[in-house]
Amino acid sequence: MYESINIFVEKIFMSNNYSIQRMYNVIRFLKNKPSTMVEIQDYLSRLSSTYVRNEKTIRRDFQNIEELFGYEIEYDKRQRVYKIEKVVDDIYKEKLLESIALMNILQQSENVNKYIHLEQKQKIDTDYLNDIIEAIKNKQVLSFTLNSYWNEATKRKCAPIAIKEAMKRFYLIAYDLDKKEIRNYGLDRISNFRVLDEKFTPAAYNVNEMYQHAFGIENYYDPVNVVLRFDNTQLNYLRSLPLHHSQQIIREEADTFTINLFVHPTYELKMEILKFGDYCEVLEPDFYREDLKNTVNKLYKKYKKNL
């Protein structure tokens, strides 16, 4: 997996900034409508005088677009236009295209802060990413201080396995050499980070398989079918933004609809369910419904004191 990602990233950096932006704009233009080569050239010329509009270069862009971003561009001989025929489902390519789209907007627009108001949120910790990836490739051991929100900080020594993104944060998946088990560590809680000369090869570990049923990063319970009933006001929202990739709508009624998730029934999922307030009800499993019920009763008692 890491070799393919590294090759992918290297190819991106081999392309200069103008060619990356040009490819992004070609994708955006052809998404809107199939077009002739002349129309593509005219469009690029209108956008910027720095874009190369040579036909040979644009055809080469088509090949790079397919390889780098997963958009297959074909020529329709009958209509005499170029069109996007297929899009490869690849999360890494999707993430990259999202980043390029934002970069393109920020660079092209003057006084962009007048038009785009970004969310004020905690910075995603990326300081250690490159060092961790190199340590994974070279099978080097890491040492760091793990800071806790609730307990005293502890010293950790581990063999890195992977990096996982979850809930807008990055986590290090590693084999803890002292505890002799696989653990995950939020990069936002790591300090005094060092890559050691010491080497260690952890046993094979399939990260995608281990976290495929997780909502977030927690997976300490076996996955089960979690059945939730929602008020119909939430139907279109949950169709456009599913709670989990396993989400299935299993029943639709006059005022409610019911979905099924196959997930680990963890605290993170519980917090997400509570966000919906009285628009959501846990139907199954019984133990999870009881857990939510107890939480709601505790909330009620807290607010009842002030009534």
CB of 182 within 8 A of CB of 162?
Answer: no
Q: What is 224-304's CATH number?
A: 3.30.70
Mean pLDDT of the residues in the chain = 86
Look at residues 273, 293, 280 and name the one whose alpha carbon lies nearest to residue 231.
280
In tens, the pLDDT along 113-164 reads 777 777 766 666 677 888 999 999 999 999 999 998 888 999 999 999 999 9
pLDDT at 8 over 60: no
* Per-residue CA distances from 179 to 153, 183, 282 (Å): 16, 9, 36
Mean pLDDT value of segment 4-29: 66
What secondary structure letter does DSSP report for 151? S
> How is domain 2-114 classified at the CATH fold level?
Arc Repressor Mutant, subunit A (1.10.10)
Mean pLDDT value of segment 164-190: 91
pLDDT value for 127: 77
Q: Where in the chain is the domain with CATH 1.10.10.10?
A: 2-114
Domain 129-208 has CATH 2.30.30: yes
Mean pLDDT value of segment 88-103: 77
Give CA–CA dist 109/106, Å, rounded: 6
Q: Where in the chain is the domain with CATH 2.30.30?
A: 129-208
